[in-house]
């Protein structure tokens, strides 16, 4: 599939779009950043974010719904962690977009180098 088709329409899979929307919210990105450093209980997230627990729980629920965050029981605690698999479509997208621009810039550099050599040789 051409990268443009991927970028602009054909890959509008609901699950991917949901993940994009889920992580588009700044607080949820903060939560992902914190959990990326290791598992945390919700109380710890509440402390670090300075938010009320219901808000944090709501964000965690959204993140869990798209699979970006997993939870496990540990005694009386519930520990949250990031699941990179759900974030991979986003990473893949940026990678593809960057790959396209890398290709363009490489080709542009080839053109510019020819122009420079022509000018130098004049």
Q: Which is nearer to other proteins, 50 or 111 (CB)?
A: 111
Quick check: 60 and 46 in contact, CB under 8 A?
no
Query: For the chain, how many residues are written?
Result: 122
Closest CA to 82 of 61, 68, 65, 64: 68
- Considering only residues 51 to 80 of the shown chain, the ones binding other proteins according to CB under 8 A are none
Sequence-distant (6+) residues with CB within 8 A of 89 are 16, 19, 20
Exactly one of 50, 101, 121, 122 binds other proteins (CB under 8 A); which one? 101
Total of chain residues touching other proteins, rule CB under 8 A: 54
**Looking at 24-32, 45-53, 55-63, 72-80, which segment touches other proteins (CB under 8 A)?**
24-32
Distance of CA 115 to the CA centre of its chain: 39
For residues 30 to 49, the per-residue mask of contacts with other proteins, x marking binding by CB under 8 A and - elsewhere, is --xx--x-------------
Quick check: 30 and 36 in contact, CB under 8 A?
no
Rounded CA-CA distance 111/90 in Å is: 32
Exactly one of 55, 57, 61, 84 binds other proteins (CB under 8 A); which one? 84
Footprint on this chain of other proteins (rule: CB under 8 A): 1-9, 11-12, 16-17, 20-21, 23-24, 26, 29, 32-33, 36, 81-85, 87-91, 93-95, 97-98, 100-113, 115-116, 119
């Amino acid at each position: 599939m051409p990268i443009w088709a991927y970028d602009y329409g054909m890959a509008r899979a609901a699950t991917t779009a949901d993940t994009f929307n889920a992580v588009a919210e700044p607080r949820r990105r903060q939560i992902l950043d914190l959990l990326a450093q290791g598992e945390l209980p919700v109380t710890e997230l509440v402390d670090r974010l300075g938010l009320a627990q219901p808000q944090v729980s709501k964000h965690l629920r959204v993140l869990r719904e798209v699979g970006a965050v997993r939870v496990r029981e540990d005694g009386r605690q519930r520990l949250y962690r990031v699941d990179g698999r759900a974030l991979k479509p986003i990473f893949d997208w940026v990678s593809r977009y960057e790959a396209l621009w890398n290709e363009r810039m490489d080709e542009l550099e080839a053109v510019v180098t020819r122009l420079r050599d022509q000018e130098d040789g004049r």
